[in-house]
Amino acid sequence: MGQTPNRGFTVWFTGLSGAGKTSIAHRVRDEIQRRGNVSVEVLDGDVVRTHLSKGLGFSREDRDTNIRRIGWVCQLLTKHGVPNIAAAISPYREVRDEVRKMVGRFVEVYVKCPVEVCERRDTKGLYRKARLGELKQFTGVDDPYEEPLNPEVIVSTDRETVDESAGKVIRRLEELGWLGR
């Protein structure tokens, strides 16, 4: 019996809260599934924090631990041929680069959006709470976000629709030969 090629890969969405990571991630998942008749796992930062990383706070150490945990799951899925998508703020460049090395077949997508636009989109009121001092160590307000230096894809969600942004990601996966046209 012949060896089947590894079809697993990780698409890692990073950006501020409210930038549009989850919306684009789900659109990309739907398109990959449509084209490949394959299941795609989405690891959403909020959901992971509730289950896999329950009990972690928002210190740099806890955030890094959370991202490493998500990265470890992505690495396992990739290794076993499962396309997967992570949508997590992942504010620190160093740990994102660490996850990239761990996973291997990895596409970083920077979901770029000005903080003012993210604040306007904020349905949970997190930015307001952070501005009032009720929420500490909030990325983009009183904790830094380190933009990726060389992401494979940059989407600008203040100027693009979800479909346009998802289309950029899909095109990159096609260029890499990880997704058929």
Q: Decide if 15 contacts 93 (C-beta within 8 A).
A: no
Which residue(s) pair with 108 in the sheet? 12
CA dist., res. 21 & res. 147, Å (int): 14
CA dist., res. 76 & res. 72, Å (int): 6
> Which residues participate in catalysis according to the annotation?
90
Q: Tell which residue, 46, 41, 18, has the closest CA to residue 28.
A: 41
Q: Tell which residue, 119, 113, 111, 164, has the closest CA to residue 141.
A: 119
How big is the chain by its Cα radius of gyration, in Å?
A: 16
What contacts 26, CB < 8 A, 6 or more positions away? 42
CA dist., res. 38 & res. 5, Å (int): 14
20: alpha, beta or left, given left = phi > 0 and alpha = psi -120 to 50? left
